[in-house]
Structure 1
Amino acid sequence: MIIGVPKEIKNNENRVAVTPAGVIELSKNGHQIYVQSTAGLGSGFADEQYEEAGATILPTIEETYAIAEMIMKVKEPIEPEYKLIKKDQLVFTYFHFASYEPLTKAMMASGAVCLAYETVEKPDRSLPLLVPMSEVAGRMSIQEGAKYLEKPMGGRGILLGGVPGVRPAKVLILGGGVVGTNAAKMAAGMGADVTIMDVSLPRLRYLDDVMPANVNTFMSNEFNIRELIRNHDLIVGAVLIPGAKAPHLITRDMLKEMNPGTVLVDVAVDQGGCIETCRPTTHQDPTYVIDGILHYCVANMPGAVPYTSTLALTNATLPYAIQLANKGWKKACQDNRELLLGLNVINGEIVYEGVAKAFNLPFAPAEKFL
């Protein structure tokens, strides 16, 4: 199969979908890999390293899309890329369709086959291609939150871990999944007073068992959220409903109940956000203030640490990419239900129910195309 790896053009997105090591593995399976010039530079991989691994370097994004049967990316295509995607081309990347209708309709119009990293799902309901970036984003949410709690950055002027004789910051984490667990570990390690909320009692029991003593668990509901936001300094939104839009757990009217300078970090922003006042921001302009509350809503947080993120992501995606390239997407999805669940759009039809529901559009089962 001919595989194209374009350079990411989203604002401050420095990750790359395939490393030189990945090129070697794909080449060993008999595939041709075309990498756009400088695609790996942001993650620390030079064109020469790709060439040594067996890839062909192409000068432009247009040539990379034009030659490829399968496109491997990190982030969803943005508007300048829509016209480059061809009918029947397989695009393997993060899409997060449910949060952005224009992208969904553009991919339907392209006639491409869109297989989304974020909905590839194992039998135990885990999301193997979302986990590594959720781990990065969860840890970064605390790193960034701690920075923006500083007064010059617009926060309350609170040191996350406090000092002897002064209480540490209070951190509230909404969601006890991969993002929330990693955020809680990081915040606890920095000495904060942490509360993690979830709707699942079994999950809260598990977290209560494994977390250090400065992490408390609490049932998530509107009453409890309203109580806790009044005295917490950093609030992290870490809610995920696979393939669907995130629910708003913090509404606009709740902001006035928070202390001025409270920092909100919404990791769920690329699925629409679990904070009503959330809107996607970039690493170039990451924050804004509403009602005295600082919002950090960068939609590609792991893009700020591309070396770590690229290695973590490609460790997870490469085995699936090899299956798709070796067998073709139809046979690979027939043989592996995990990949079947990753299919979101095929030849103009939505085949993932959560996306269809998000925009009230027709849904067709993916099996119809296999």
Structure 2
Amino acid sequence: MKLTKLFNDFFNSEKAGGLILVLATILSLCIANSPWQTAYTNCWQFSFAGHSVVHWINDGLMTIFFLLIGLELEREIYTGELSSFKNASLPVIAAVGGMIVPALIFLLFNTGGPGQPGAGIPMATDIAFAVGILSLLGSRVPASLKIFLTALAVIDDLGAIIVIAVFYTSTLSLVHLFLALGVFAVLLVLNRLKIQNPVPYLLGGIVMWYFMLQSGVHATLAGILLAFAIPFGNGDERSVSYRIQHFLHKPVAFFILPLFAMANTGISISSDWYAGLTQNLSVGIIAGLLTGKPLGIALFAYIGTAVKFCTLPSELKWKHIIGAGFLGGIGFTMSVFITLLAFTDAVITDTAKIAILIASCAAGIIGYLFLHFTLKKTTPGDTI
């Protein structure tokens, strides 16, 4: 199966970005538990233009990350793995299972309790980490598995945005929301008029982001909307979509996501940190990511193929889907992102973050080892 240059660029940027994310997280944890802890924490709370630095990162820079995700999703829909129903149905139904089952497992432990708002936490997949772990397996990874995992993670992130917009909007200003949607409508008109200059779209995106921020709906939704307003054309290197997506790869992978990790994983770990792992919140997160993700992804994919809704590519075996399911359990960035929206109590937030880090590390290790031995033993006629 031939992979496009832009897909390879996207895959490689996420691969390198995964390593940078690991280093950024380790550095953040080290500083947060050193004599510089107070200064480190305070630097992220420094106020600029009415908002803290961490707020600008989470609501501002992360919008650019979702713009990149939206552009990749658009490309997959128009010319990639999602361009036909036959190809799209498998990662779509797998992603749906990978969101529903973890959320149900989480609610099994947290319904009616203080952790209930965190049901969206184990639904997420960190695309950079997941792709980064898969890339460590080298040339043994079939192209179809790369595409499946990337499409799965992109759809998962889109699902996370929908969950954020629907369930994590505490206050809603209809006036600002309609203004944001009005700007989006204007950008769609520019698209229909075949305006190819990227400047009007980017300026309009900033205005839409501002109104979305004021509306109470999480501002990062503006990134996804902007992606689908930007002209795709025929998707070649001259198209506006291609140029913006190509430009964003490295800033997102090497600056925005590591900065997000630095700002949000500076957890001061107490001597009894492990006590929180027995709380329903932690159990729900760990069980959701480690069990719910692979179970939901594999189960829904299997049911989809059993009822002829989708087909399994010839290169893939069911054990590869299970391995990809474990990698889907690496929630990290997106899970932390949703945690910050779900809880305001610092103790609960830190407890959730520790559970996310543990579950994501375990999912990455299990997924890597599972695929390492699976891919090594795979032969053309192999079956489950």
TM-score between both structures, scaled by the size of structure 2: 0.26
Going by fraction, where is helix more abundant, 1 or 2?
2
TM-score between both structures, scaled by the size of structure 1: 0.27
